Amino acid sequence: MRSFFPAESCKEAHPNALNPQSWLHIERGKLPKLSSHPSSASIESLIKVPQPAILPFFKPVDYVEVLARIHEELESCPPQERSNLFLLQYQVFRGLGEVKLMRRSLQGAWQRAHTVHEKIIFGAWLKYEKQEEELMADLLAACGKCAKEFAPVDIAFHLPFDVNASSEGRTTNENRISQNVTFTIGSEKIVCDRQKISELSAPFHAMLKGHFSESLSETIDLSENNISPSGMKAISDFSLNGSLIEVPPNLLLEILVFANKYCCERLKDACDRRLASLVSSKEDAVELMEYALDEHSSVLAASCLQVLLRDLPNCMNDNRVVEIFVHANKQQLEVMVGPGIFALFCFLSEVSMNLNSSSDTTAHFLERLVEFAENGKQRLLALHQLGCVRLLRKEYDEARCLFEGAVNAGHMYSVAGLARLDYIKGDKLLSYGQLSSVISSVTSLGWMYQERSLYCDGDKRWEDLEKASNLDPTLIYPYMYRAATLMRTQNAHAALAEINRILGFKLSLECLEIRFFIHLSLEDYKAALCDVQTILTLRSDYRMFEGRVAASQLCTLVREHVERWTTADCWARLYDCWSAVDDIGSLSVIYQMLESDAAKGILYFRQSLLLLRLNCPEAAMRSLLLARQHASSEHERLVYEGWILYDTGHYEEGLQKAEESIDIKRSFEAFFLKAYALADSSIDPSCSPTVISLLEDALKCPSDNLRKGKQSR
């Protein structure tokens, strides 16, 4: 969501050229020429800082108050309300960027789901959020561990048949002429047991054993009732043995429609469950969902829903799937998902936003989210998210109405969207006034001053950005703006010091990119190489110059101005960086070493440690998986597998891997893993001495002296 709302300032004309060769003093032709006037470019003019995004998140003024209220309500609310409270908690943590806490909230929603539909939604959501665990499915299976939320729900078990389909006690006509009745369909005749058929539904009972003329007839014509002879024969067999197990799918659909038409609830339920058991692919789900919704077949609809949701995000590319959710009316959605309609569209809209925030699909899903919001908190979230999408799509009038609705519902952050709209209209003073009003009326937060800074200039802007950094040091825009401003005044060293303030505690690709350019301006190519190699460690496909040049190309260009290191030089440099807790420097050295024939397992492991310390869990997991893939020994592989399990919350399994590794060879890494896994898998304080003893054992083992990273865990 980093580029969710591209700033208007990004539309400024770029310099006439983008020609890194002119800075690096190397031969021409290694980078495609992007302009016919390459000489007019300068590094300073290429440092562009887009306006901060209007994030489509729930951002309350007082996070503590909101989270405390949710916690209190979770302890006292009825069971059917708990999953929605966990969903709200998830949205709060999402606004804070707390990935682990977000997943914990989803886990809570899944565990406390009141209906099978909620179980399906939150199980699929967890599967989507934990896609990286699919890469370690073999490891989990080998440990006898399978994430329960990843397993399909037994829908038929959770939706038992509870309709009394018996005809007992109904008025009957005892003067029937035969125990059998013959149904004619075209030229074919199907002989059925009159009593058994009459028990299928009240209409059949009235027709065959009531006071209708058919109760006295031996032959009844069903040719105009859309049932084939084969279908009627299957219904006759069901009336005798209660089974549809041998009936082919095409006949099941025919019987389902017939059973629904004649209120044969027991037959419909059997058909519903049999069809549901046959849904195994997206194609099955798409084809059968229409029948399920038209015939109000809840088991079949839920089974189709489960298959589609578990295939996200892939099935989002199928227009047939999107249309099912977009065009279903409320009654059909209730058949499909019971009371979980809001949760469903919350999930779908998040997946769609991650794929393409400005797509029609995203807008349609968010429209439905607004439509099915059940309370104030849900409504303000839905309005704000749809407002962000309308803003991105330049549908400004619609965006204004939505942001106003969100503000009126109590979402103060949506004022930022209104201010941005006024600025686009050219009313900068009104935008400034709106933010000033917010600042004076509630507890000030960093984003308020950051937003207001966009609508003033000079010292006022600088002061607002300083205030924003003081209130929320994690906001990256103020540092980027100040660094860019200092670069424009030819004060590169001050710009470097400014951008280092944020990179000292928060790793940001955008900030690394700015620092890369600053180092280029200072002709410090070694430092510039360090930055671009760190960028590539985090995202190998990253593009710079607002996406116009691959970072890997610039890495190649800069490297020609840096002396090549030997393997010994790399290890020495890595030791120095690690000892100085220079994590970015360490990542750069490891990136370079991985390009050689060095032992890659241990290097990927070190890389994962650094990335965890820099709060990059997804990149760290990728490195751990690569470490496992390149392990040079059995005991080393077991350690990496243990950390993979530990970092995904499988502490007991991680502990088991550590013990297996120690049985093969005592190592610092294995003892350290065991200490961590034991500490997190047990809440018993009596295990503390054991943990300390394990750490002491770790220190006695041979080491490569790069222990600081391990201790950071």
The H or E element spanning position 106 is helix 99-111
CA angle centred on 351, ends 73 and 52, rounded to 5°? 85
Distance CA(344)–CA(321), nearest Å, equals 14
Q: Which residue would you say has higher pLDDT here, 171 or 594?
A: 594
Q: Which residue is it, tokens 């190519």?
A: 525
Write the secondary structure of 288-318 as one string of H (helix), E (strand) and C (coil). Answer: HHHHHHHCCCHHHHHHHHHHHHHCCCHHHHC
pLDDT for residue 176 is more than 50: no
What is residue 224's DSSP assignment? T
Burial label, 256 (beta-carbon count in 10 A; 0-12, 13-18, 19+): buried
Long-range contacts (CB closer than 8 Å, 24 or more residues apart) made by 400-407: 402/370, 405/379, 405/380, 406/380
Burial label, 445 (beta-carbon count in 10 A; 0-12, 13-18, 19+): buried
Best CA proximity match to 199, nearest among 226, 160, 174, 172: 172
Contact of 383 with 413, CB cutoff 8 Å: no
Q: With b meaning 16 or more CB within 10 Å and e meaning fewer, what string describes 316-341?
A: beeeebbebbbebeeebbbbbbbebb
pLDDT at 25: 44
pLDDT for residue 711 is more than 70: no
Band of residue 144 on the pLDDT scale cut at 50, 70, 90: low
Distance CA(184)–CA(693), nearest Å, equals 85
Contact of 149 with 123, CB cutoff 8 Å: yes
Contact of 52 with 30, CB cutoff 8 Å: no
Distance CA(481)–CA(462), nearest Å, equals 9
Contact of 377 with 88, CB cutoff 8 Å: yes
The H or E element spanning position 467 is helix 458-471
Please state whether the peptide bond connecting residue 313 to the residue before it is cis, i.e. omega within 30 degrees of 0. Answer: yes
Parallel, antiparallel or unpaired: strands 219-221 and 188-193: unpaired
CB atoms within 10 A of CB 161: 14
Tokens of 483: 């660094």
Distance CA(369)–CA(386), nearest Å, equals 9
Tokens of 712: 């950071």
CA dihedral (392, 395, 396, 402) in degrees, to 10, reads: -90
CA dihedral (458, 464, 468, 473) in degrees, to 10, reads: 40
Distance CA(634)–CA(512), nearest Å, equals 37
Contact of 279 with 301, CB cutoff 8 Å: no
Contact of 386 with 401, CB cutoff 8 Å: no
Contact of 300 with 275, CB cutoff 8 Å: yes
Best CA proximity match to 297, nearest among 323, 275, 326: 275
Tokens of 362: 């995203």
Contact of 183 with 200, CB cutoff 8 Å: no
Would the CA dihedral through 443, 446, 447, 450 be positive or negative?
positive
Distance CA(258)–CA(80), nearest Å, equals 35
Best CA proximity match to 626, nearest among 594, 590, 601, 645: 601
How does pLDDT run across 676-699, given as a tens digit for each residue? 888 877 767 778 888 889 988 888
pLDDT at 16: 38
User: What is the identity of the amino acid at 444?
Assistant: S
Tokens of 343: 């949760």
Distance CA(81)–CA(59), nearest Å, equals 22
Distance CA(463)–CA(644), nearest Å, equals 45
Would the CA dihedral through 217, 221, 227, 233 be positive or negative?
positive
Please state whether the peptide bond connecting residue 56 to the residue before it is cis, i.e. omega within 30 degrees of 0. Answer: no
**Is residue 88 classed as helix, strand or coil in its secondary structure?**
helix
CA angle centred on 552, ends 546 and 558, rounded to 5°? 100
pLDDT for residue 483 is more than 50: yes
Q: CA dist 690 to 655, 671, 672, 686, Å?
A: 13, 11, 12, 8
pLDDT at 47: 78
Mean pLDDT for the stretch of residues 478-490: 93
What is residue 603's DSSP assignment? H
Mean pLDDT for the stretch of residues 154-172: 63
Sketch out the chain's domains with CATH numbers: 8-46 (no CATH), 166-263 (3.30.710.10), 567-711 (1.25.40.10)
pLDDT for residue 597 is more than 80: no
Would the CA dihedral through 52, 58, 60, 65 be positive or negative?
negative
pLDDT for residue 705 is more than 80: no
Contact of 367 with 399, CB cutoff 8 Å: no
Mean pLDDT for the stretch of residues 187-195: 92
pLDDT at 206: 87
**Bridge partners, 193 (sequence order):** 180
Best CA proximity match to 276, nearest among 313, 305, 315: 305
How does pLDDT run across 531-580, given as a tens digit for each residue? 999 999 999 999 998 888 999 999 999 999 999 888 888 888 988 998 88
Band of residue 60 on the pLDDT scale cut at 50, 70, 90: very high
pLDDT for residue 160 is more than 60: yes
Q: How far apart are the first and last CA of the chain?
A: 28
pLDDT at 147: 52
Band of residue 42 on the pLDDT scale cut at 50, 70, 90: low
The H or E element spanning position 185 is strand 180-185
Q: Which residue is it, tokens 């031969």?
A: 27
Tokens of 442: 């509630």
Calculate the average pLDDT of the chain. 87
Q: Which residue is it, tokens 């241990």?
A: 602
**Is residue 183 classed as helix, strand or coil in its secondary structure?**
strand
Best CA proximity match to 344, nearest among 90, 111, 119: 119
pLDDT at 702: 77
How does pLDDT run across 621-639, given as a tens digit for each residue? 999 999 999 999 999 999 9
pLDDT at 709: 39
pLDDT at 100: 84
The H or E element spanning position 190 is strand 188-193
**Bridge partners, 188 (sequence order):** 185
How does pLDDT run across 245-263, given as a tens digit for each residue? 889 999 999 999 999 998 9
Tokens of 52: 């901060």
What is residue 597's DSSP assignment? T
